[in-house]
């Protein structure tokens, strides 16, 4: 499978979790109760799956290959996306801390939580759109078939290094089940 297809599959799962986070954010904005444990799980998902798994592939494997292609347009897009990845990691770190304060009953933290979720949603959605519009097509256009096969192998090695042999698939399945469960709970409320 091509690296662009693997990344696209991950993006689809990320979008699903962003949709759930968006519904939770709307509930918070309307002063409706939100299951804070579910919110904690979502933050954990973004920290582990998005930032350790997905973004690491971008940062350490895909972006360097695109930079080697030599097209000057790639440099600006890549630098922007690298900065966005760093900012998103900071937001997730902040969300984790703020959520702990919210669980302790801190009312100021509740307002911060709403603001930080909004910032994270906007950043991630824009970042993923850039991936879909620029990075994935550039992977297919600028990277040879032979190198794409090597990148796919590097993706597998990266996942095995982070999660253990064969664990990425199990990890993916576990999050897919959790996403489906949360979609049924949160997203059906949105469509009412």
Would you state the pLDDT for residue 176? Answer: 77
Geometric angle at alpha carbon 14, from 171 and 74, rounded to 5°: 115
Distance CA 78, CA 135 (A): 8
pLDDT per residue over 93-131, tens digit each?
A: 999 999 999 999 999 999 999 999 999 999 999 999 999
Contact (CB, 8 A) for 168 and 53: yes
Residue 131 backbone phi and psi in degrees, to 5: -60, -45
* Number of domains comprising the chain: 1
Give the integer Cα–Cα distance in Å for 89 and 50.
9
Q: Which residues touch 20 (CB under 8 Å, ≥6 apart)?
A: 42, 179, 182, 183, 186, 187
- Position 11 pLDDT exceeds 80: yes
Range of the domain at 75: 3-191
Contact present, 46 and 86 (Cβ < 8 Å): no
Q: Does the pLDDT of residue 190 top 60, yes or no? A: no
Check which CATH number belongs to the domain holding 97 and give it: 1.20.120.520
Question: pLDDT per residue over 165-179, tens digit each?
Answer: 776 677 777 777 878
Instruction: Kindly give the residue spans of alpha helices, DSSP state H, lying in 30-106.
Output: 36-45, 55-57, 63-68, 72-103
């Amino acid at each position: 499978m091509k690296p662009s297809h693997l990344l696209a599959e991950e993006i689809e799962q990320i979008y699903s979790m962003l949709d759930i986070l968006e519904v939770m954010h709307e509930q918070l904005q309307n002063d409706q109760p939100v299951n804070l444990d579910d919110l904690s799980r979502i933050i954990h998902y973004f920290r582990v799956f998005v930032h350790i798994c997905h973004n690491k592939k971008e940062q350490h494997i895909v972006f360097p290959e695109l930079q080697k292609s030599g097209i000057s347009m790639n440099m600006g897009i890549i630098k922007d996306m690298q900065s966005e990845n760093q900012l998103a990691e900071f937001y997730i770190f902040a969300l984790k801390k703020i959520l702990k304060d919210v669980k302790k009953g801190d009312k100021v933290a509740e307002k911060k939580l709403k603001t930080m979720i909004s910032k994270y949603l906007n950043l991630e959605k824009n970042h993923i759109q850039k991936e879909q519009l620029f990075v994935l097509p550039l992977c297919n256009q600028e990277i040879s078939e032979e190198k794409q096969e090597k990148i796919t192998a590097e993706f597998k090695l990266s996942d095995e290094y982070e999660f253990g042999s064969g664990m990425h698939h199990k990890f993916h399945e576990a999050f897919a089940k959790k996403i489906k469960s949360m979609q049924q709970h949160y997203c059906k409320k949105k469509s009412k």
